Amino acid sequence: MKISQKLYISQKECFTAIINSVIYDIKQSTGKTKQVRQLQGFSYQRTMSNGMRTTTTISEVVPDEVYQFTTETLSNTHITTYTITATSENTCEATYTEKIEAEKTMRKVNNAIAGLMFGFFRKRRVRNLLKAIEMSVINESKAKKQEVKSEN
């Protein structure tokens, strides 16, 4: 699955929002605080909302451009990549790519059927996620501007 969306925030703002979320997730799951430069190659375990234990490994971090991670469950491996490209000084295109791999043939068939049945909803969820990232950055920027105005 691949989804690209234009966002009305800078490339750096988008990447920072994604990475801040990752750092927060790591802190919640492990109690450890990580810096951006420490993320690539880092693995941690977490429990999903459905109770399933997963292992997440951060495979690539290119500041302001790429964030990729692999999530392994008992039956599947999900490879997720965020690629952020500047389209202007204040806009970017965020591309979300997700690939699901499985060892067993039946699991591959099941993934293909589920992808067809639920693909629309998953794409909509990703689009909403990207819009939420955009709105979070915009609202944070507005709050900072209000703070500066009230200090003056």
d(C-alpha 137, C-alpha 135), whole Å: 5
28, 45 contact by CB (below 8 A): no
C-alpha to C-alpha distances, 63 to 54, 85, 141, nearest whole angstrom? 25, 11, 21
| pLDDT at residue number 24 | 95
Domain that includes residue 71, residue range: 2-151
Model confidence pLDDT, tens digit, residues 42-71: 999 988 888 889 999 999 999 999 999 999
User: What is the total count of domains within the chain?
Assistant: 1
Model confidence pLDDT, tens digit, residues 131-142: 999 999 999 888
| pLDDT at residue number 50 | 83
Model confidence pLDDT, tens digit, residues 81-124: 999 999 999 999 999 999 988 776 666 666 566 666 676 788 89
The domain that contains 51 carries what CATH number?
Answer: 3.30.530.20
Chain CA centroid to CA 88, Å: 22
